[in-house]
A and B are shown apart, each in its own frame.
Chain A
């Protein structure tokens, strides 16, 4: 079976997008889970702090998420632009 250069590039593009998104999603997922778990912990201890904890948790998760978003952008570029 002969595979031309363009076919190889096309195949590797999809593979790279899959790996990029798959590996890139692990870190933010774990990190956001840990942030939510600790925020819940704090809310259970001090229910009166709930509003402030929720706000700080969302900011923290949003910042944690940016690495995942970078890999999403790279995957989108690989699939649709490159």
Chain B
């Protein structure tokens, strides 16, 4: 088990001069999580009335409560109009990362969290980076948004650029490092010290608790970065 740590099932494709590699387990688990979330959304959405005046069903009341909680918790500082705009994005990020972290506690052999793969976390962080610039340019105008890099003084431009870069880097590495660190620790404890009970507890701790905290942190930081850009 330990000697297989870090070994992956990779599919290599040669497209012209490009050599593309797919980590099959990560791709399949990420697609499964996406499918599960889409199915869950369809299942919750099913049977809801389109008429806003209709009496609330139990499911509609539950959804309203959850969405309002998410709006106040994840998008507290935003103006109402922008919060409505951003809620689907931030909530999807939260749920996707949450279920990607939680999937590692399933008792299926060879299954790993997709968030253990730097490519997954980096693409999510780059998505947030691009959207922060998009919303910054849309809300304040492109010129005002770009002028933000010259504040407080023009000669601090390199610092602002490095800060921008490092923010995205740490956004990706934080999720990746936390999830991968937990997984490695669980594996090492299971192989070297205590093969029974203890690894299961560690897996639950790192998978469920740390996974939930990190998903919350990822979504909160995404919302904070967009908030900085639109302010």
Contacts and interface: CB of A to CB of B under 8 A. Distances in A.
Interface of A: 51-52, 55, 58-59, 62-63, 65-66, 69-70, 72-73, 76, 80-81
B54 interface: no
Chain B interface secondary structure, helix, strand, loop or mixed? helix
A33 to B, nearest CB: 16
B180 A76 contact: yes
Nearest to B181: A72
A62 B73 contact: no
A72 B181 CA distance: 7
A30 to B, nearest CB: 18
B173 A69 contact: yes
Given A52-B76, A58-B220, A66 B170 contact: yes
Contact of A66 (B72, B174, B181, B220): B174
A80 B76 contact: no
A58 B98 CA distance: 16
A65 B174 CA distance: 8
Interface residues of B, number: 20
A65 B170 CA distance: 9
Contacts of B220: 55, 58-59, 62
Given A55-B73, A65-B174, A69-B178, 20 more contacts: A51-B73, A52-B76, A55-B76, A55-B220, A58-B213, A58-B216, A59-B217, A59-B220, A62-B221, A63-B221, A69-B173, A70-B170, A70-B173, A72-B181, A73-B173, A73-B177, A76-B181, A76-B184, A80-B5, A80-B6
Q: Which 5 pairs from chain A and chain B are nearest by CB?
A: A66-B170, A69-B177, A62-B217, A72-B177, A80-B6
Interface in B181-231: 181, 184, 213, 216-217, 220-221, 224
Contacts of B184: 76
Contacts of A66: 170, 173-174
